Amino acid sequence: MDHSVHNKLVSFIWNIADDCLRDVYVRGKYRDVILPMVVLRRLDTLLEPSKQAVLDEVKFQKEDMNATELDDEPLKAASGQVFYNVSKWTLKSLFSTATNNQQILLANFEEYLNGFSDNVKEIIERFELLSKIRHMAGKDVLLDVLEKFVSPHINLTPNQVEDPDGNKLPALTNLGMGYVFEELIRKFNEENNEEAGEHFTPREVIELMTHLVFDPIKDDLPLTMSVYDPACGSGGMLTESQNFIEEKYPASASSQVQRDIYLYGKEINDETYAICKSDMMIKGNNPENIKVGSTLSTDEFASDRFDFMLSNPPYGKSWASEQKNIKDGGEVIDPRFKVELTDYWGNKETADATPRSSDGQLLFLMEMVSKMKSPSTSPMGTRIASVHNGSSLFTGDAGGGESNIRRFIIENDMLDAIVQLPNNLFYNTGITTYIWLLNNNKPEARRGKIQLIDASLLFRKLRKNLGNKNCEFAPEHIAEITQAYLDCADIERTLDANNDAVGIASQVFKNEDFGYHKVNIERPDRRKAKFTPEAIAPLRFDKSLLEVMEHLFEEHDDKVYDQGFLKGISKDILEWCEDNDISVNAKAKSKLLDEKYWQKLRAILEAANLLMQEIGSDEFKDFNLFKVKVDAVLKEQKIKLSAPEKNAILNAVSWYDEHAEKVVKKVVKLSDTKLEELLNHLGCSQNQLADFGYYSTSACGDDKNSAGEYIIYEPNSDLRDSESVPLAQEIHDYFLEEVKPHVEEAWINLDSTKIGYEISFNKYFYRHKPLRELSEVANDIIDLEQKAEGLIAQILGVDVAEIQGEA
């Protein structure tokens, strides 16, 4: 399409808003009227040539066939489109028969809108166009707006026409109309830049994504292909993909075969959904392939698989309201967000693949992964490009949802490359963003590898900021990034005259380079113990309800143990809690008002008092001996305590002390068979068992040692540390090198091991810039001092040289 014609159309339509809507809508709302009217006028022009044929078909169905309901398919055939209008009106006839009576025009307009097929009616409803038409009629501007859109000086039809001055106005193809429509969307988004990024991805970013997705297989593109965007917004990714293929890689002319590109998408926002669906109609695509609603809550395309997927899903956006459709409590019920992984021991398990509820961007990536075609059924497989912020690279601990998603994608060799983009490239955010490239059928040279490309320094500044966007990619930048990806080789970033990094950088890694084992390193608990009245006094109360229970006991003493007393004053108790900013849920309230629960806690306190009387208040440096004495007294006095109740007493009167004896958890005796099984499980030799928490009694100086006896010490959770060990390194070797020399009594809790994956661009592309020479810094300080002195002299009105001469 000729650029001057394109710009003229856009400018004409753009000016309609200022000419007609200035006193009717605030500037930020112009798009709400202009965009649906552009859609309506384009659909109207496509139906104008077949208007009579459609009316004849309506007459035939009603009069000759006595149909009570009109049949869609013959009407579509008559219109030559996937939509139709059965009213007698067109926008031109509405204008030509209009009078100054806005109410008659409104009634005719409503009849016209109601005559559309259901697929267009849905668009009208999502745009809320009827209410806007009524508003304009009420403000006496509807006729003015209509006059502008049917003006003979612009051509929105697919045929060449002449204007009143005899000038030829070229036909506007579906593709050309798409460009006009997208340009209007872009301009309106730039006007309302606080919302722009929600609906619009910069054109040059989409162009880069299409190059990265399609260029590597340009010679093998199928004649029939499908493209999907699970967060399609106004459809920019989809239509740009189609435009890219048709312009850059059309079907061979010699084959005389037309390439078929099917576009699919889903969008939750009504207005952008309407824009996208109408754009599909305008360009001749099937609008039924665009769905409205939440992609995460409902799997609209559950049975479909796609060749290509491009998307810029929302990031940093909560999906808490959709959790009920994805998880039932802690269990994932949507198969899209469950993955099969193996644990450290090689056992297969179904793992949670949902991120934290505050950020759902990785759910969209998993939605796309679930829609990939298997290479076993489709030789090309599927290629994906998805935009994310930095959190997708590294948030989430090993075994958590985010890490599981990265692990599943990487271990199944789907992650092809990640491209870091410049800051401030998008309209509604200045943060760093990344393009993830996925491919489940990598070429041989890329299998088992992941390429990281840092393109954060490739950009050119805009003359005027558009929201947060202050830079853009130039065509040469897109070409450089694409070539770096195609080459799949390391590229060292160059330095300029100031020793600053410039240009592009690339590194190629093995898949396992991003994986790690997270393993807990334990240290023994060492405790002292001593019974004191102050230590055991809090046992009367529940720790989680300490403040309110102390208050009630202080106020009412032993009455709290009387049946029904607390329930009788429950209102006063809850009011006191509210006045003191204490939150009490249903479970806590039940405990608080239950005299039996109070009595149970008192019994624990009484048992502790009895133990103190029998054992005394001596301090024990050996907690193991202390526990023996406690058990002996409980047995002798025939006091029965549950394990949690006994632990509550022990914890109340003991504390960690690094000089105390180690606390023994248990002593195990390992037969030859059990010992061999343990050594195989841990992957170590017998003399290495202490590194895994099994200490031979003979090594501990126990004279009564029996062969095969090992002590297992109680770990102290406060001293527990976790280490991230690269997959390529043995955990035990890492322990011996990095932990054992610093903490002699530590051991590896191998059963706690989890596998995680994360990607850190800073780790791989950070370049240290040497500090400046001291002399250079000193000279700068001296220069600043001299400038400051001159400024001070100027303020004081004195001549420095004269003063220095006198001195």
Whether residues 439 and 547 fall in one domain: no
Q: What is the per-residue DSSP string for 276-296?
A: HHHHHHHTT--GGGEEES-TT
CA separation for the pair 340, 411 (Å, rounded): 11
Confidence of residue 700 (pLDDT cuts 50, 70, 90): low
Q: What are phi and psi of 294, to 5 degrees?
A: -80, 120
CA-closest candidate to residue 240, choices 175, 156, 313, 173: 175
Whether 544 is covered by a domain: the verdict is yes
Whether 758 is covered by a domain: the verdict is no
CA separation for the pair 712, 670 (Å, rounded): 12
CA separation for the pair 374, 380 (Å, rounded): 9
Whether residues 196 and 178 fall in one domain: no
Whether 362 is covered by a domain: the verdict is yes
Q: Give the residue from 445, 479, 514 where a domain finishes.
A: 514
Whether 761 is covered by a domain: the verdict is no
Whether residues 167 and 36 fall in one domain: yes
Whether 95 is covered by a domain: the verdict is yes
Q: Which residues form the domain of 548?
A: 527-656
Tell me the range of 152-161, 432-441, 763-772 where mean pLDDT is highest: 432-441
pLDDT attached to residue 9 = 84
Q: Give the residue from 134, 157, 182 where a domain finishes.
A: 182
Does residue 497 register a pLDDT over 80? Answer: no
Whether residues 375 and 272 fall in one domain: yes
Q: Which of 472-486, 495-509, 522-536 has the lowest mean pLDDT?
A: 495-509
Confidence of residue 201 (pLDDT cuts 50, 70, 90): confident
pLDDT attached to residue 552 = 94
Whether 677 is covered by a domain: the verdict is no
Does residue 703 register a pLDDT over 50? Answer: no
Does residue 66 register a pLDDT over 50? Answer: yes
pLDDT attached to residue 198 = 46
Confidence of residue 580 (pLDDT cuts 50, 70, 90): very high
Whether residues 130 and 199 fall in one domain: no
Q: Where are the alpha helices (DSSP H) in 249-286?
A: 270-282
pLDDT attached to residue 500 = 75
User: Stretch 570-587: mean pLDDT, rounded?
Assistant: 92
- Chain segment 69-114, per-residue pLDDT in tens: 899 999 999 999 889 999 999 999 999 998 878 889 999 999 999 9
Instruction: Compute, in degrees rounded to 10, the torsion defined by CA atoms 52, 57, 63, 69.
Output: -130
Confidence of residue 32 (pLDDT cuts 50, 70, 90): confident
Whether residues 395 and 499 fall in one domain: yes
Q: What is the per-residue DSSP string for 395-420?
A: -S-TTSHHHHHHHHHHHTT-EEEEEE
- Chain segment 617-666, per-residue pLDDT in tens: 999 999 999 999 999 999 999 999 999 999 999 999 999 999 999 999 99
User: Stretch 137-152: mean pLDDT, rounded?
Assistant: 92
Does residue 776 register a pLDDT over 90? Answer: no
Whether residues 24 and 164 fall in one domain: yes
How many Å from the N-terminal Cα to the C-terminal Cα in the chain? 79
Does residue 800 register a pLDDT over 80? Answer: no
User: Stretch 21-50: mean pLDDT, rounded?
Assistant: 88
Q: What are phi and psi of 178, to 5 degrees?
A: -60, -40
CA separation for the pair 322, 45 (Å, rounded): 41
- Name, in order, each residue with C-beta under 8 angstroms of 684's C-beta and a sequence gap of 6 or more: 691, 692, 732
Q: Which amino acid is at 623?
A: F
Q: Which amino acid is at 775?
A: S
Does residue 772 register a pLDDT over 90? Answer: no
pLDDT attached to residue 22 = 85
Whether 725 is covered by a domain: the verdict is no
Does residue 177 register a pLDDT over 80? Answer: no
CATH label of the domain that carries residue 444: 3.40.50.150
User: Stretch 190-213: mean pLDDT, rounded?
Assistant: 74
Whether residues 255 and 196 fall in one domain: yes
Residue 800: C-alpha distances to residues 596, 704, 781 (Å): 90, 92, 19
- Name, in order, each residue with C-beta under 8 angstroms of 344's C-beta and a sequence gap of 6 or more: 517, 750, 753, 754, 755
- Chain segment 521-554, per-residue pLDDT in tens: 999 999 999 999 999 999 999 999 999 999 999 9
User: Stretch 332-341: mean pLDDT, rounded?
Assistant: 96
Whether residues 313 and 380 fall in one domain: yes
Whether residues 533 and 503 fall in one domain: no
pLDDT attached to residue 174 = 66
Confidence of residue 807 (pLDDT cuts 50, 70, 90): very low
pLDDT attached to residue 796 = 54
Whether residues 101 and 155 fall in one domain: yes
Confidence of residue 470 (pLDDT cuts 50, 70, 90): confident
Does residue 501 register a pLDDT over 80? Answer: no
In the chain, the number of structural domains is 4
Tell how far CA 163 is from the center of its chain. 51
Total residue length of the chain: 807
% of residues, the chain, pLDDT over 90: 67
Average pLDDT of the residues of the chain? 89
Q: Give the residue from 610, 637, 656 where a domain finishes.
A: 656
Does residue 748 register a pLDDT over 70? Answer: yes
Whether residues 81 and 201 fall in one domain: no
